[in-house]
Structure 1
Amino acid sequence: MRLPSLRYALLPLSVALLLSACHGKDAASQPGGSTPEAALQASVDLIKAGDFNGLWKHALPPADYANMRADWGHHQQDQRPITAEDRAKFNETMQKLTEPDAENKLYAELQPKLTAMEQQYKDQLPVLISVGEALVKSGVAQSKTLNETQKAQANGVLDVLAPWVQQTPWFDQAKAKQAVGVAVTTARKLDLKDPDQLRSMDFDTSMGKYATGYAGLKQMLMIYGLSVDDTLNSVKLTPVSNSDGHAVVKVDYTLLGKPLSTESKLVQQDGRWYSEDMLDSARKAHQQLNEPAGSASVAADAGTGTVAKQD
């Protein structure tokens, strides 16, 4: 199940880790930050609170935020039609998660499966996780959307997460029962009636649903020993440079007890500071959405007079 325009609303943990922990009120008054550090500090407060609407309103200049809201209803047009099989799977899943006594029914169904999986995969799990880590790192290395700084940070995060995944007791019955309870509670709060609802929600409604899902995800991770809030609270900022409307801030943080570090680039517009990566991503998404379908720019070859399509 994928909510519309996931690229906008579900921020990866790596983005959250670029932001600092602070309790300032800079975001409440106007978009952006009065300083690069204030921009990052205010963003993490909004992430921790699950206020995704507030986050985008803070993280983007007013015109870009307005474009995002205006574009929102058009994103579903690019998605494939919902099939009868999709509807059946959606309805079955939501019924199981929201019916009376769903927690006990789902756990009773899961319990023997966990026992069987533990017997079958416990010894193989470290190898499978290592293979998965290698595949993910290969994908990061080949990514055309991540810059070198982002790739380095992603690999650093993977180096910390992989041992956690290997050591986490995924087959523990008590933890599984807690996780089922969180999944059921979250599904009931989401209150999704059918897959069409996912594609018809307006921006504000979508942000509210994302907040609910995010809160459930944080609870789920906490059951297995990963606290997103602890990581965000550990962030320390150090200014690196600031000139001509561009700034770099060093971000130190702790993930699962392991120290990590990266840098965040910010740009100044109309006297306010914004994350350069987030701003560029939002503008590219808006540009792509508003390009005519199937259009391609044509460039003349000065030497031969031929023309070539440009992506």
Structure 2
Amino acid sequence: MHRIRIRLIAAALCLLAAVAGCERATAPAPVPGLPPPGPVATVQQRLRELHRSDLAGYARHSVPPALYAELDRAWREDRSRWPLTELPLDDRLPGLLTALGAPDAERKLRASYRREFAGAHSELRSAATTLGLLGVRHLKAEPGYSDDERAHYIALVEALSDWGRQAPLGATDRANPAITRLAAAARRTGLHRAPAWQQAGMAGSLQRLGPFFGTLKQVLAGYGLDFDRALDDARVELVEHKGDRARVKLHYRLAERPIDAGLELQRIDGRWYLADVLTHARTEAARQPH
């Protein structure tokens, strides 16, 4: 039973890290005659756009058009689910939506919550501590991250672990309405049935997912984890700019913990892109069928 609870809490914390750790985009329409935004303004746009939970915009504006076309083809050929692959437990997201969108999901999930979590405040606090330690250990050993990503995600996991030790995760009066809201949001995506992902394609699926992530942010704010406030208060400063490469620092607070993240950017055809996102996107575009 303890292992079951740990796995469920781990999935929840990883989903929270996903919301916190990814820059999502939908850039405003370019104004004729004005140059594209510089590196600082590009990151600031990503922060504003994350506030709007526009995942389709992220895919469209976070990579150059030619790479976007390759990624769209990989999605339709069922080779990749970028940009969802930027998230921890991306392979669990379809299953999460299926569970939330299933008939009678609210009753089943509330019953499961009562068995596993209701009133288990001490165990939940202990699990948050354990998962924080395990998450940091995994991030230090995982070779797929740049140094900047690794440092950023470790800071996020530590902040979420701190939050998890204080949040009222065992309070039934908060969990019941949260389950209702998330189940309704999952059904509205239309993605709780597996074939819908490929049928909708990348842009269509991401458009449907955006409101679900918006609802998730609102639910988390009710537990004291306010991502939109963190985004509103974030600051970006230029550290270095040499030719088509730039480096910025992102400063924000999450769960009352200050986080400083270094971000590398690359300019392609006059526009700036986050270098780590480009690296992962290229890997996903080249992924072969399973």
With normalisation by structure 1, the TM-score equals 0.72
Alpha-carbon deviation of 1:35? 0.5
Gaps of 5+ in 2: 1-16, 82-93
Q: Provide closer, same or farther for how the CA distance between residues 214 and 166 of structure 1 changes in structure 2, counting only shifts above 3 A.
A: same
Query: What is the Cα-based RMSD across aligned positions, in Å?
Result: 3.2
Distance 2:113 2:130 in 1: 27
Q: Is 1:96–2:104 an aligned residue pair? A: yes
2:47 aligns with 44
Which letter does structure 1 place at the counterpart of 2:102?
M
Alpha-carbon deviation of 1:278? 0.9
Matches within 5 A, 1:19-30: 27-29=28-30
Distance 1:93 1:190 in 2: 9
Aligned to 1:29, what secondary structure does the other structure show?
Answer: coil
2:280 aligns with 281
Contact 1:248 1:265 survives alignment (8 Å):
yes
Q: Any runs of at least 4 consecutive aligned residues in structure 1 with deviations exceeding 6 A, and if so which? A: none
Q: Provide closer, same or farther for how the CA distance between residues 200 and 11 of structure 1 changes in structure 2, counting only shifts above 3 A.
A: farther
Aligned to 1:288, what secondary structure does the other structure show?
Answer: coil
Distance 2:186 2:27 in 1: 33
Alpha-carbon deviation of 1:185? 2.0
Alpha-carbon deviation of 1:92? 9.4
Q: Is 1:189–2:188 an aligned residue pair? A: yes
Q: Deviations over 1:20-58 (max 9, x none)?
A: 9xxxx964229x942101211222222221222212222
Distance 2:185 2:167 in 1: 23
Distance 2:271 2:124 in 1: 48
Q: Provide closer, same or farther for how the CA distance between residues 67 and 231 of structure 1 changes in structure 2, counting only shifts above 3 A.
A: same
Which letter does structure 2 place at the counterpart of 1:211?
G
1:160 aligns with 159
Residue correspondences, number: 258
Contact 2:80 2:285 survives alignment (8 Å):
no
Matches within 5 A, 1:7-156: 12-16=19-23, 27-29=28-30, 33-75=36-78, 90=98, 94-97=102-105, 105=107, 109=111, 112-113=114-115, 117-118=118-119, 121-156=120-155
Aligned to 2:77, what secondary structure does the other structure show?
Answer: helix
Aligned to 2:29, what secondary structure does the other structure show?
Answer: helix
Contact 1:252 1:262 survives alignment (8 Å):
yes
Q: Deviations over 1:86-142 (max 9, x none)?
A: 99x958961013xxxx5xx4687467536x742xx4333333322222211111011
1:303 aligns with none
Which letter does structure 1 place at the counterpart of 2:63?
L
1:175 aligns with 174
Contact 2:265 2:275 survives alignment (8 Å):
yes
With normalisation by structure 2, the TM-score equals 0.77
Max Rg structure: 1
